[in-house]
Structure 1
Amino acid sequence: MTAANDASPPSSAGPGARPGPSRALPAWPRRRLAALRRFEAPSAARAAWQLANTLLPYLGALALMVVTLRRGLPWWTTALLGVLASGFMVRLFILFHDCVHASFLPSDRAGRVVGRILGVLVFTPFGEWRRSHLGHHATSGDLDRRDLGDVWTMTVEEYAAAPRRKRFSYRVTRHPALMLLVGPLLVFLVNNRFPPRGGTRARVLSVLSTDLALAAIATAASLTIGLGTFLLVQIPVLFLAGVWGIWLFYVQHQFERAYWVRGEVWDPLQAALAGSSYFKLPRVLQWFSGNIGLHHVHHLRPRIPNYHLQRCLDATPELQAVRPLTLAGSLRCGRLALWDERAGDFVGFDAVPRPSAAPAGS
């Protein structure tokens, strides 16, 4: 899931800015990199099993939430089921994400069909998100190309030179509480419902077809269980899944000693290995998040389906050598706000130089 600010264009560096240092990683022989292609082969059987063990429990949890509401059972029973359903919704998004990369199923056509259906269930238009997300993969870590599918990121110099209104907007966007409390419904319930300005016919149709499908679901629900019950079930689940999804997306590229450089020195291999986190989660959370925490593996080989990512990691010592980000350690990422090009690291707002005081009598 993404909390990307696609409308925020990248800013050029200020006077005197230079490319920040990157974490030097050893170059891979081409044959080693090419050898990872064996993990890219999709499996129809594995994909079908993942759809069964994710979609059916997700729908079952929603149905049980409806039952608890109608029978007036204690609120915590509905809440617990909502937490469980949100976990399955996050996993559905990862399956949708694999369809975007055409890695989930052997058939591209079947993958697109499944992707569009899953896109409705996760409130995200398949075609429009595909364009944004593939753009993210092509530009991740490039300070000169931050306009597609990324969390809005400014450098220290850009922030210091920005007008007050832009600095305020940036602070609001980057504040963890607002990002996680407002962001989920703003992104999935509001932003994803509107076609992009000046978008192609295909992009507009992608958004409108998803909106129409969601409207049909809401209409059917209002005629059966009632619109109020539907909203009491779906909105909290969407919110909780959005919180977890946005945090996952955030820490995948916004962490200490990440990789952000100017375009002239940007390297896709370094961007994958040094600029994408190895988010090592407890097994149950890794399952619900569809192995997406192995994000350095995913960015190195985006065509590897989620069900082969762990095997690829286990078979590749170079990928295991990347320092993992733990769940507890990820909490420190919330204070990171600006990229310091000179230090080559993320810093907080307190690192921005304060304007020097005016001389007395001036």
Structure 2
Amino acid sequence: MTTSIINSQQLSEDLSDSNLRLKDIIKTLPRECFQQNRRKAWTQVLFSVFMVGLGYYILAIAPWFLLPFAWILTGTALTGFFVIAHDCGHRSFAKRRWVNDLVGHFFMMPLIYPFHSWRIKHNYHHTHTNKLDEDNAWHPIRPEVFESWDKSRQFAFEGFMRKRLWWVGSIGHWAVVHFDWRNFKTKDQSSIKLSVAVVVIFAAIAFPLLIATTGIWGFVKFWLVPWLVYHFWMSTFTIVHHTASDVPFVAANKWNEALAQLSGTIHCDYPRWIEILCHDINVHVPHHLSTAIPSYNLRLAYSSIKENWQPYLHDECQFSWSLMKQIVDQCQLYTTDVGYKSFNEYYAER
């Protein structure tokens, strides 16, 4: 997993010195990449609804030994729900805002994810991708920040990384960030309250009904475990998209938007059935160049990017346990202008 350009220190210098602009890259993309197609968008909706429905049907009839397969299928299909809402959050699903908001809330509801709070926080991530101390997605922790924490928080974070618990990371992000409207600007708080109310009302109706008809085990079987599988993919996609030992996070005064989005975003191939159920969200470089590209046009855009900007792209990778082990074991703490180090390296230097 090395870059196609140079090492991370040299890339950091390029990020500050380059005159490359994001609009220069976007201009090279085919116009078709940005065209919304109502048929393709709603076909994705029907496909995801069908696959989630199929997953729940299999859960209902499967013997106990087939439940893991059904949980993986259903949770991965639910990730497709999130990707549709993801397009809605970027206004690339439909031309009318109210359609994006309605569809986005509908598909976030079973995930208990407030649509507007996620949309606002996620757009901030796009504005500050790989900017040190600003990017609010999966971002590195600097040693001096780690040292400022109390012992219990240090212990929790170190254990989280050493035990390779990246797959629960998005649950913490979901719980801490997205339900408190006080974390948002005043002008956004009314929309945040609306989105929180939508998921709270959904949960207040759906969960008691599910428990009343299927029991506590039914709640675990039909909602909790598929939801955990969905968060596995959320956590995995998020960390893999921007984390490698040679991908720099750059201070604001050295940050270049174009190179951060182009070189700091990683394309990772997954088994094709996962890519289909998740609507190619792993084809992530085009999405970071322009959020106006709908998910069904990501592969077209990426082909153009590879043709025109290959020297700037990070090497592609293949999803595997060894990849996740490498990322989590190496990318534990981050020293500004130097790069990642493991906890073992950190303690050895002290």
C-alpha change, 1:211 and 1:142, in structure 2 (3 Å) is same
Determine which structure has the larger helix proportion and give its number: 2
Tell me how far 1:183 sits from its aligned partner.
4.0
More displaced stretch, 207-216 vs 158-167? 158-167
Q: Find the aligned partners of 1:21 and 1:267 in 2 and give their Cα distance.
A: 14
Q: Percent identity between the aligned chains? A: 19
CA offsets, 1:234-271, max 9 Å, x none? 11111112112211111111212113111011111111
Residue 167 (structure 1) aligned with residue 162 (structure 2): no
Tell me how far 1:169 sits from its aligned partner.
3.7
From 314, 332, 335, give the equivalent of 1:337: 332
Paired residues for 1:1-362 under 5 Å: 21-22=10-11, 24=14, 27=20, 30=23, 32-36=25-29, 38=31, 39-68=33-62, 74-146=63-135, 148=136, 150-159=137-146, 164-175=151-162, 177-180=164-167, 182-183=168-169, 186=172, 190-191=175-176, 194-197=179-182, 199=184, 200-226=189-215, 228-316=217-305, 317-321=307-311, 322=313, 323-328=315-320, 330-331=323-324, 332-335=326-329, 336-343=331-338, 345-352=339-346, 354=348
Q: Find the aligned partners of 1:33 and 1:194 in 2 and give their Cα distance.
A: 34
Q: Which runs of 5+ in 1 are unaligned?
A: 1-18, 69-73, 357-362
Q: What residue number does 1:10 align with? A: none
Is 1:156–1:341's contact at 8 Å kept on the other side of the alignment? Answer: no
Tell me how far 1:305 sits from its aligned partner.
0.9
Q: Find the aligned partners of 2:270 and 2:68 in 1 and give their Cα distance.
A: 23
Paired letter, 1:45: R
Q: How many residues were matched structurally?
A: 328
Q: Find the aligned partners of 1:324 and 1:262 in 2 and give their Cα distance.
A: 25
Q: TM-score, normalised by structure 2?
A: 0.83
C-alpha change, 1:289 and 1:348, in structure 2 (3 Å) is farther
Is 2:281–2:295's contact at 8 Å kept on the other side of the alignment? Answer: yes
Pair member with larger Rg? 1
Q: Find the aligned partners of 2:22 and 2:50 in 1 and give their Cα distance.
A: 43
Is 1:254–1:333's contact at 8 Å kept on the other side of the alignment? Answer: yes
Is 1:86–1:238's contact at 8 Å kept on the other side of the alignment? Answer: yes
Is 2:146–2:154's contact at 8 Å kept on the other side of the alignment? Answer: yes
Any idea what SS the aligned residue of 1:177 has?
coil
C-alpha change, 1:341 and 1:106, in structure 2 (3 Å) is same
Q: TM-score, normalised by structure 1?
A: 0.81
Any idea what SS the aligned residue of 1:315 has?
helix
Paired letter, 1:195: D
Q: What residue number does 1:360 align with? A: none
Q: CA RMSD in A?
A: 2.8
Is 2:166–2:328's contact at 8 Å kept on the other side of the alignment? Answer: no
Q: Find the aligned partners of 1:85 and 1:151 in 2 and give their Cα distance.
A: 25
Any idea what SS the aligned residue of 2:208 has?
helix
Any idea what SS the aligned residue of 1:294 has?
coil
C-alpha change, 1:33 and 1:192, in structure 2 (3 Å) is closer
